[in-house]
A and B are shown apart, each in its own frame.
Chain A
Amino acid sequence: MAIIEFKGLTKAYKDVIAVKDLTASIEAGRITGFLGPNGAGKSTALRCLLSLATPTSGSALIRGAGYAELENPMKEVGAVIESGGFNQSLSGLKNLKIIAASAGIPDHRALEVLELVDLMDARNKRVKQYSLGMKQRLSLATALLGEPEILILDEPANGLDPIGIAWLREFLKKLARNGHSILISSHQLAEMQNTVDDVLIIHKGRLITQGTMSDVVGTGTLEEAFIRLVEATS
Chain B
Amino acid sequence: MNLIKSEFRKLVYPRSFYGYLAGAVFIALISSIPAAFSVNSLKSRLDGTSLMDPQLVAGIYGKAISGYLFVMILGIAIIGNEYQNGQAISTFLATPKRIKVLYAKLVIAAGAGVFLMVVSTLLGFIGAYFGLHHYPHAKTSPTVFLNLMIAAIVSGAVIAVMGVSIGALIRNMKIAQAGSIIWLSIVEKLIVVFWASGGKYLPSGLILGMMNININLKSTQKLFSISTSDYFQPAVCIVLLLVYAAIFAAVGSWVSLRRDID
CB-contacts of A61-117 with B (<8 A): 67-68, 70, 73-74, 79, 81-82, 84-90, 94, 97-99, 101-104
Q: Are B2 and A73 in contact (CB under 8 A)?
A: no
Residue on B with the closest CB to A67?
B96
CB-contacts of B90-117 with A (<8 A): 90-97
Instruction: Classify the secondary structure of B's interface with A.
Output: helix
Q: Are B94 and A73 in contact (CB under 8 A)?
A: yes
Interchain nearest-CB distance for B46 vs A (Å) = 48
1/0 per position for A26-69, CB-CB distance to B under 8 A?
Answer: 00000000000000000000010011111000000000000110
Best-buried of B16, B91, B94, B261 by chain A (most CB within 10 Å): B94
A142 within 8 A of B: yes
Complex-state Cα separation, A81 to B91, whole angstroms: 12
Which one of B16, B81, B87, B261 contacts A52 once the chains associate, using CB atoms below 8 Å?
B261
Q: Are B93 and A81 in contact (CB under 8 A)?
A: yes
> Top 5 A-B pairs ranked by shortest CB distance?
A102-B6, A68-B96, A101-B6, A53-B260, A84-B86
Q: Are A103 and B2 in contact (CB under 8 A)?
A: yes
Interchain nearest-CB distance for B28 vs A (Å) = 26
Residue on B with the closest CB to A127?
B85
Which of B7-15, B56-64, B136-144, B241-249 is the interface stretch? B7-15
1/0 per position for B1-36, CB-CB distance to A under 8 A?
Answer: 011011001100111100000000000000000000
Q: Which residues of chain A are near B5, meaning CB under 8 Å? A: 101-102
Which one of B15, B85, B260 contacts A86 once the chains associate, using CB atoms below 8 Å?
B85
Q: Which residues of chain A are near B94, meaning CB under 8 Å? A: 73-74, 99, 102-103
Which one of B2, B87, B89, B260 contacts A87 once the chains associate, using CB atoms below 8 Å?
B87
Q: Which residues of chain B are near A85, meaning CB under 8 Å? A: 85-90
Complex-state Cα separation, A101 to B13, whole angstroms: 13
Q: Are A89 and B15 in contact (CB under 8 A)?
A: yes
Complex-state Cα separation, A112 to B91, whole angstroms: 20
Q: Which residues of chain B are near A53, meaning CB under 8 Å? A: 260-261
Q: Are B86 and A82 in contact (CB under 8 A)?
A: yes
Q: Which residues of chain B are near A94, meaning CB under 8 Å? A: 9, 13
Q: Are A52 and B89 in contact (CB under 8 A)?
A: yes
CB-contacts of B168-226 with A (<8 A): none
Interchain nearest-CB distance for A9 vs B (Å) = 14
Best-buried of B10, B81, B85, B93 by chain A (most CB within 10 Å): B93
Residue on A with the closest CB to B97?
A68
Q: Which residues of chain A are near B97, meaning CB under 8 Å? A: 68
Residue on B with the closest CB to A152?
B93
Complex-state Cα separation, A38 to B87, whole angstroms: 24
Q: A87-B14, A101-B2 are in contact. List 7 more A-B contacts (CB 8 A).
A: A52-B92, A73-B94, A85-B87, A89-B14, A99-B94, A102-B94, A104-B2
Interchain nearest-CB distance for B92 vs A (Å) = 6
Complex-state Cα separation, A87 to B3, whole angstroms: 17
Q: Which residues of chain A are near B88, meaning CB under 8 Å? A: 85
Complex-state Cα separation, A98 to B13, whole angstroms: 9
Complex-state Cα separation, A67 to B89, whole angstroms: 13
Q: Could you write out 15 A-B pairs with CB less than 8 Å apart?
A: A52-B93, A52-B261, A54-B258, A68-B97, A73-B93, A85-B85, A85-B86, A85-B88, A87-B81, A87-B87, A94-B13, A99-B6, A102-B5, A103-B2, A142-B90
Residue on A with the closest CB to B95?
A102
Interchain nearest-CB distance for B35 vs A (Å) = 36
Q: Which residues of chain A are near B258, meaning CB under 8 Å? A: 54
Residue on A with the closest CB to B260?
A53
Complex-state Cα separation, A102 to B87, whole angstroms: 13
Q: Which residues of chain B are near A99, meaning CB under 8 Å? A: 6, 90-91, 94
CB-contacts of A142-178 with B (<8 A): 142
Best-buried of A50, A70, A79, A102 by chain B (most CB within 10 Å): A102
Interchain nearest-CB distance for B51 vs A (Å) = 46
Q: Which residues of chain B are near A47, meaning CB under 8 Å? A: 260-261
Complex-state Cα separation, A81 to B5, whole angstroms: 24
Q: Are B93 and A86 in contact (CB under 8 A)?
A: no
Best-buried of A79, A86, A97, A99 by chain B (most CB within 10 Å): A99
